[in-house]
Every structure is written in C-alpha cells, then in structure tokens.
Amino acid sequence: MVLSEHAVIVDDGRVTDVLPLVDAREKYQPSVFIVKADHVLIPGFVNAHTHAAMSLMRGMAEDMPLEPWLQNGIWPVEKRWVSAEMVRDGTELAIAEMISGGTTCFSDQYFFPEIVAETAVDLQMRAMVGTPIIEFPTAWAADAAEYMHKASDLVHDPYADHPLVSTCFAPHSTSALSDKSFLELRVLADQLDVRTQIHLHETAHEVASTLERTGKRPFDRLHELGIINASLLAVHSVHMSATDIEVFAEKGVSVAHCPRSNLKLASGIAPITSYRDAGINVAIGTDSAASNNTLDMLAEMRAAALLAKTSAANAAALSASDVLRMATLGGASALGLAKETGSIEPGKWADLACVDLNRLHSQPVYDPVTQLVYTASADQVTDVWIAGKHHLDNGQLTNIDTDHLLRRSSEWRDRFATPHS
C-alpha cells in the first residue's frame, strides 16, 4: 500500500501512528519534525542471510565455483586469520554498509557470534545472530558439543529478551554435522525456543555428492531428523523438487533467497515463484560480500524480481511490490520478528529507510514502488532509523567513524593477501 502526504509518528523508538499529514499537523506537536519531499519512506530492509565479517574478504577470491571458492579461497584465510578482532572489524564494515543502503536488520552466520552480537549492540543495529554449529575445530570451538554449549550460552544471556539482538542456531550445512549432533540440536532448539537456519541445496553438486556419499539428499536427511519445521530458515534452496516444495509449505519453513550470490557462484536460480505460489514465506539475503560483492538489498530485490520473470518465462511472475515485501516483512517473518519490524505499523519498532527518487536515473516517477525497485541504488538512501534512532542523516552515518573503519579494513586485506607459507 502506497500512501502519499502521510506522516509517521514515532515515540520511544516505536511507530505510534500513521496518518495524513494534515491530520498529523493538528494532532501532534513533535519535538523533531522531518520532511522529505520526493522521497519514499519504507520499512528498513531485512537482510535475511549474510556472513557480515566476510566483508573484509570482498573481492579476495573471484570467478570461482562454490566448492573451490570455499576450499582454496576462503577457508585457508579463515583458518589462519579468524579471531574476535577480525570479526569485530568485519562486522562493523558490514553494518556500516548495510545501514548506508537502508538495511535495519540482518541475519548473520559466522564464528565468534558473541562478537557479532556485541558489535550490533554497540552500533545499535538490529540483528539475528546465528551461532555456527559444525563438527570440526576452529578458533571458536573444538567440536559440536562445544559449539552447542557456547551457542546455548549466548541464547540464555544476555540476548534472551534484548530489544535489538536475537539469536538462532546455524548449523552450516548437512555435511557439517552428524545425525547425533542434529538430533541434539533439535532438542536444544525446542527447549530454548530458538530458530534454526542452514544452507540447504545451494548447489546441484551439494545434492548429488551427498546423495552419492550417504545415499540421501540433504533435504531428505533433514526431514527424517525432524529439522524441516516451522522454525527453520532454509538458506538458498536453489535445487528443490516439487515434492520438497510441498513439504516446505506444509511445515511452514521460510526460505532466504540470495539471487546474486547464487548467480556469481554459478549455483543456479532458486524457484521463488514456485515457493510464493505454494504459500512459502520468502525472504531476501545478500549472502556475504565475498560472493556478491555488496550487501545491497535494493540491488538484491531488483535481481530477485528480474530473475523470477525470466525463470518463469512471465514478466508478470513477480512484481516490484512482491519483492519489496520479501525484502522487508518477508525477512522479518523468516526471522520470527514479524511483530517487531518489517512494516510501518503502530506498535512495531521504527525501523525505517528514506530513499530519494529525485535523481536523473529515477525520473520521471510514474509509480514510486516500481521506481524504487527498478531504479534506486544504495546511494539514494538518505536517512535510516533503527528503533527510532537516526543512524543515517542526509547520507551521513551518525554512529560510525568510516575513515578509521576503512583504514582497519585495508590492514586486514594486507594480512589476508599475504601468501600462505
């Protein structure tokens, strides 16, 4: 629904009223009154899947398929360099970029999730922090038991009822965990009432090689283990059968669609019009900047819309307003935050983004929604509020020292680019 000449009233971080501007002028005497002509005000984007700290690896390994990209490009650097300090700097770079582009909430999966959460709190960004769970040792934990132990700690305290940060379990993919660990994770998730997210059927290779190795596709194994349920966020899900899609719909699974990462790693194009038609909630994510290479939800929405049209051989298959909903309320629903964010409604947090359409390449405007989705770029986002706090003010980040941040980012690049001896 598009409203013009309307006002959004914010009090104590939450939206309290949405009404015609003329009525607002009579009814309210605000302490701060902001007018934005030629702009659209939208719910802040919910980036439903990223690995924020990997922004430091943006451009580090290019033009490679998923498996060698991970094995030869990403993992050796992670093995050597991942640390609390690296995660803090990388997450800050990602949050700065995301806020600048209108994103007010992100769902993360990375090592040192307690640092991701702390960084989000420090910068007052909304986040769903996924705690990694795998069998093999990293700088963060030694085995599945320790990952789960640390993950449970994070859920309990201090994020059980935090206004900005919530947590979930993030087993990397089916190959990363034994059946025993998955069953433990499921029990723990039920006990703690915590959601789960997992990379699932991202590439044809993942599906085929798992089937060959284990006799089961990843989807079938998860289904048997009882992980395919309403608190699951399935990430990517590019290679899915019609039956798989029926099961997703029946169980109430959400899908995080990451179209540009899927293209860049040559993974394919997820069947999101089929998901939508089956009644599955679809969210949109950027994936990490190491495979995309920007955390730009405007670009991601546009890619989702354009790809769906050609995939379905129907230019009407997915409209601009469909993808705008996926990138906002769809994301909030996928993270279990639909009561808190994702739309501009009284009672929800004031997580808002303002986009300037008065640019050469966005003019003239026939319809603000199609013009937003099909023409706007991240630099047109002028103002962003998270829980009512003004984070981006006329294009300037209010809360982050970007010069210092860029210097630290360059230092990490110099370390990562050092040849492995």
Contacts with its own copies by CB under 8 A lie at: 56, 58-60, 62-66, 69, 93, 96-97, 100-101, 204, 260, 262-269, 289, 292-296, 299, 303, 305-307, 309-310, 312-317, 319-320, 358, 360-367, 370-371, 374-375, 377-379, 402, 405-406, 409-410, 412-413, 417
| Shorter beta-carbon distance to its own copies: residue 210 or 291 | 291
360: left (phi over 0), alpha (psi -120 to 50) or beta: alpha
| Shorter beta-carbon distance to its own copies: residue 58 or 201 | 58
Minimum distance between the CB of residue 312 and its own copies, rounded to whole angstroms?
7
User: Alpha-carbon distance 9 to 308, whole Å?
Assistant: 36
| Shorter beta-carbon distance to its own copies: residue 134 or 320 | 320
Minimum distance between the CB of residue 378 and its own copies, rounded to whole angstroms?
7
| Shorter beta-carbon distance to its own copies: residue 168 or 381 | 381
Tell me how many helices (H) and strands (E) the chain has: 17, 15
Q: How far does CA 38 lie from the centroid of its chain?
A: 28
Minimum distance between the CB of residue 179 and its own copies, rounded to whole angstroms?
31
| Shorter beta-carbon distance to its own copies: residue 148 or 372 | 372
Minimum distance between the CB of residue 127 and its own copies, rounded to whole angstroms?
18
In contact, 54 and 290? CB cutoff 8 Å = yes
Give the angle 320-38-303 at the CA atoms, nearest 5°.
25
In contact, 291 and 335? CB cutoff 8 Å = no
As to burial, measured by CB atoms within 10 angstroms (0-12 exposed, 13-18 middle, 19+ buried), residue 227 is buried
Q: What 3 state SS string does 252-272 have?
A: CCEEEECHHHHHHCCCCCCCH
| Shorter beta-carbon distance to its own copies: residue 8 or 87 | 87
**377-386 per-residue burial string, b: 16 or more CB within 10 A, e: under 16:** ebebbbbbbb
| Shorter beta-carbon distance to its own copies: residue 47 or 409 | 409
Strands in 103-109's sheet, in edge-to-edge order, are 45-50, 103-109, 126-133, 165-171, 196-200, 232-236, 254-257, 281-284
| Shorter beta-carbon distance to its own copies: residue 10 or 308 | 308
Amino acid at 270: A
Minimum distance between the CB of residue 403 and its own copies, rounded to whole angstroms?
10
The phi and psi torsions of 390 (rounded to 5 degrees) equal: -80, 95
User: Alpha-carbon distance 193 to 197, whole Å?
Assistant: 14
The phi and psi torsions of 14 (rounded to 5 degrees) equal: -120, 155
* The two structure tokens encoding residue 44: 């802040």
In contact, 280 and 238? CB cutoff 8 Å = no
Minimum distance between the CB of residue 121 and its own copies, rounded to whole angstroms?
20
Place of tokens 């997580």: 351
| Shorter beta-carbon distance to its own copies: residue 38 or 193 | 38
Minimum distance between the CB of residue 279 and its own copies, rounded to whole angstroms?
21
Minimum distance between the CB of residue 309 and its own copies, rounded to whole angstroms?
4
Minimum distance between the CB of residue 387 and its own copies, rounded to whole angstroms?
22
Minimum distance between the CB of residue 414 and its own copies, rounded to whole angstroms?
9
Give the angle 185-188-194 at the CA atoms, nearest 5°.
95
| Shorter beta-carbon distance to its own copies: residue 269 or 278 | 269
Its sign, for the CA torsion 323, 324, 327, 330, is: negative
Neighbouring C-beta atoms of residue 273, cutoff 10 Å: 18
